[in-house]
Amino acid sequence: MYIPDALTAAAQDAALGICDWSVPLERLAEMCGATSAAILMEGTERPWGLSVGGDPAMLPVYFERYAGRHPIVTNMWQSLRPAGSVVTDSQLMPMDQLERTEFYVDWAKPQDFGHFAALIVDPDLHAFLAVTQPVGSENFASKDVAFLRQVSPVLRMAVAAHIALRDAAAERAMLVEALDRVSGVPGVMVVASNGEVLHANQTAAALLRERDGLRFEARGFGGLRAQTASETAWPIWLGSCATPGPPSPARATRTTRACRSGNRSRRTSARR
């Protein structure tokens, strides 16, 4: 099975945020003979979509009025097709019937969207990729449908990675906002095993700026530092607890010594 390198690279870059999803969508449309392409995810708390070849102002209208409700996509989900399936509009609804729907008259036809083919990415999330032909054109040829099936694994993997990274970023943002906004919270820092400060809430950031006990050292290897080497070992040990494997006796000894000598570090960290 041959999957074009340009499409693979673009999909992977889009998943990681290196480029916009418009890049792989444009290449997908070109490779399967379509004039427009879109990626849509309807069934989550954070719906998402992007399209090329259509009117950008119409995408919000789709989510407001038609997502999960317009008949042809409803038929697609009700058919219980698995991920990786490719369907065309003629398999879901006759074109003369589709042309009488509000969705077609008010949304699809004004953008010159005629026949379409869809690649089901994730039925649980109601996520799919769609490509369309102009109004009045012939339906997609069998070779175009076969091409969509061929590139399905790459595209589905890229979309899954994008969704996972997006959701993780959203959850992190909510946690960070909670740490920063809830009143009465002491200084809290998220610290990597090497002492790198990944996030400090407002109270902790103020303590670091004071350089009274704990500070952030940007020179050399950087990271969280205290007045003495033994005090510095204490917060770094806390970060190392997240690394795999049981603590060694040497680590336990270092921890005991650091905790005994780290009074100033603990006192500073507890200030509000």
Q: What is the pLDDT of residues 246-257, one digit of tens each?
A: 444 444 344 333
Domain boundaries, the chain: 5-164, 189-270
Report the alpha-carbon distance of residue 118 to residue 137 in Å, rounded: 17
Note the pLDDT of residue 224: 67
Average pLDDT over residues 76-102: 91
The confidence band for 212, taking pLDDT boundaries of 50, 70 and 90, is low
- Whether the pLDDT of residue 240 is over 60: the answer is no
Note the pLDDT of residue 158: 92
Least confident of 42-46, 54-58, 149-153, 255-259: 255-259
Q: Per 3-state DSSP, what percentage of the chain is helix, strand, and coil (rounded to 5)?
A: 50, 15, 35
Report the alpha-carbon distance of residue 191 to residue 182 in Å, rounded: 20
Give percent of the chain with pLDDT exceeding 90.
Answer: 39
5-164, what's its fold? Beta-Lactamase (3.30.450)
The residue with greater pLDDT, 18 or 225, is 18
Report the alpha-carbon distance of residue 262 to residue 252 in Å, rounded: 15
8 Å CB contact between 36 and 113: yes
- Determine the Cα angle at 148 with ends 145 and 150, to 5°: 110
Three-state DSSP string of 130-189: EEECCCCCCCCCHHHHHHHHHHHHHHHHHHHHHHHHHHHHHHHHHHHHHHHHCCCCCCCE
